[in-house]
Amino acid sequence: MARYSLGLGLCLLVASVSAIPVDNNVEGEPEVECGPTSITVNFNTRNAFEGHVYVKGLFDQQECRNDEGGRQVAGIELPFDTCNVARTRSLNPKGVFVTTTVVVSFHPQFVTKVDRAYRVQCFYMEADKTVSTQIEVSDLTTAFQTQVVPMPICKYEILNGGPTGEPVQFATIGQQVYHKWTCDSETVDTFCAVVHSCTVDDGNGDTVQILDENGCALDKFLLNNLEYPTDLMAGQEAHVYKYADRSQLFYQCQISITVKEPNEECARPTCSEPQGFGAVKQANQTAQFFRVLKKRSAPVMENILDVRAELTTLEVLEGNLPSSLTQAQALVASREIGEDSFRQELCISSFHISVVTVFLGLTVFVAIFITYMIVSRMMVPSDKMQSAC
């Protein structure tokens, strides 16, 4: 019996020394996709994968584990509101961190030396700045992966007629145009845009505010409250106007970019019906006061973009005016022409009257002289007339 036990012990020792790890591992770096509502992590394996991909600490929850095998690719998709995915809002830099830890296990039941754990983090920024930090995991060495979602690129256009019209640089007073603000983003359903603090000036310091800091219109005769057809688009129809004795208009606005909350709509300004001229004057005074305060204060919001009209300048022409104004000016012109013609005709008639008067006067004088001579000869005595003869 002693010899048999000893032989069995030697066999066990040889078996433990001859054990090898699982013949598979992760090839290269994992691929992280930061989506609008979820994070997707994919791994390339050297051989066909037959293990598990799961969130650390949640192996027993089926929705937090992926058991798919038979391919040289392993991965898992994690929605923001499940599997303890952490969402942390950051003020500096301004944005949202979404973080989780994913384990790739090549053994059906146990964690072995070829397994890997990755702490995955997506940063949805509200400013063009990236900050990252290293995190250590106690039981497995964690590789840090991060992906930065770029800020949208925004533009401001003034289009002819409607939202599908061509950009205009020259316009006439009263012409219908469409003010359009759009932002292009590489991700879908991720950001929200709000247009506010819009001004128009003539290039010489005369500035008028047409949208306040909340994005509400101030003068219904200049621009009405904006419409938001999509998360990253705003627009409104308007009619062209101009400064007195100035033909150029310079438009400038600000656009606030924020991260869209999952399964929620973008917040929009709640505005009342815009008023007329008095409200604009008061708003401009208030805006001037806040501009002074802003110069005195230190930081500026980093998620606010300044956008100008695409062609920078709108040249307003006075040539082709609306029909009502053209008719009015034509009526005034016809009156002026009528008065000038009347004066000219009156002047010509006076000259003719003067000539006729002089002619008549001479005629009367000759007639009187002839009459006088005839009468004088008739009054002389006959004897004197004979002696004279």
The region that residue 205 occupies, defined by phi over 0 for left and psi between -120 and 50 for alpha, beta otherwise, is left
- When computed from its CA atoms, the radius of gyration of the chain, rounded to whole angstroms, is 47
- Percentages helix, strand, coil for the chain (3-state, rounded to 5) are 25, 35, 35
pLDDT at 27: 85
Task: Tell me the residue range of the domain where 224 lies.
Answer: 150-284+300-315
DSSP state of 76: E
Answer yes or no: do 157 and 275 share one domain: yes
Answer yes or no: do 173 and 308 share one domain: yes
**Does residue 351 belong to any structural domain of this protein?**
no
- CATH assignment at residue 80: 2.60.40
Instruction: Classify 387 as helix, strand or coil.
Output: helix
pTM reported for the whole predicted model: 0.46
User: d(Cα 213, Cα 209) in Å, to the nearest integer?
Assistant: 10
User: d(Cα 168, Cα 231) in Å, to the nearest integer?
Assistant: 25
Q: Within the chain, where are the H helices?
A: 2-18, 277-296, 323-378, 382-388
Tokens of 1: 């019996």
pLDDT at 231: 94
Closest CA to 158 of 231, 252, 90: 252
Q: Which residues pair with 91 in a beta bridge?
A: 94
pLDDT at 289: 40
Answer yes or no: do 279 and 205 share one domain: yes
User: Do strands 170-172 and 304-317 pair parallel, antiparallel, or not at all (unpaired)?
Assistant: parallel
User: d(Cα 283, Cα 1) in Å, to the nearest integer?
Assistant: 103
User: Do strands 233-239 and 176-184 pair parallel, antiparallel, or not at all (unpaired)?
Assistant: antiparallel
pLDDT at 64: 93
Answer yes or no: do 162 and 85 share one domain: no
B/e letters for 254-273, b = 16+ CB within 10 Å, e = fewer, are bbbbbbbeeeeebeebebee
Answer yes or no: do 211 and 95 share one domain: no
- Provide DSSP, 271-321: ----B-HHHHHHHHHHHHHHHHHHHHSS---TTEEEEEEEEEEEEEESSS-
**Does residue 382 belong to any structural domain of this protein?**
no
Answer yes or no: do 184 and 37 share one domain: no
Closest CA to 251 of 317, 157, 183: 157
Q: What are phi and psi of 345, to 5 degrees?
A: -65, -40
Answer yes or no: do 100 and 155 share one domain: no
* pLDDT, one tens digit for every residue, the chain (389 residues): 434 333 333 333 334 444 567 788 888 888 899 988 899 999 888 888 888 899 998 988 988 998 877 788 888 999 988 898 998 888 877 888 999 999 998 887 888 888 888 999 998 887 554 445 555 556 666 677 777 788 899 999 999 989 999 998 888 888 999 999 999 998 888 899 999 999 998 878 888 999 999 999 999 888 999 999 999 999 999 999 888 878 888 899 999 999 998 888 999 999 998 876 645 555 555 544 444 334 433 333 457 777 776 654 677 776 554 444 333 333 333 333 344 433 333 334 455 556 666 677 777 777 777 777 776 766 655 554 444 44
Q: What are phi and psi of 149, to 5 degrees?
A: -85, 120
Looking at the structure of the chain, the number of domains it has is 2
User: d(Cα 279, Cα 273) in Å, to the nearest integer?
Assistant: 11
* Residue where the block lists tokens 């009367």: 364
- 97 vs 29, 87, 264, CA distance in Å? 21, 6, 18
pLDDT at 241: 87
- CATH assignment at residue 260: 2.60.40.4100
CB 152 within 8 A of CB 181: no
Answer yes or no: do 190 and 308 share one domain: yes
DSSP state of 162: S
User: d(Cα 5, Cα 284) in Å, to the nearest integer?
Assistant: 98
User: d(Cα 220, Cα 16) in Å, to the nearest integer?
Assistant: 85
Answer yes or no: do 50 and 199 share one domain: no
User: d(Cα 204, Cα 379) in Å, to the nearest integer?
Assistant: 97
- 290 vs 207, 283, 287, 295, CA distance in Å? 15, 10, 5, 9
pLDDT at 224: 92
Answer yes or no: do 94 and 170 share one domain: no
Answer yes or no: do 70 and 204 share one domain: no
**Does residue 137 belong to any structural domain of this protein?**
no
**Does residue 50 belong to any structural domain of this protein?**
yes
Amino acid at 357: T
- 28 vs 45, 102, 103, 139, 309, CA distance in Å? 9, 16, 15, 21, 46
**Does residue 10 belong to any structural domain of this protein?**
no
Answer yes or no: do 192 and 310 share one domain: yes
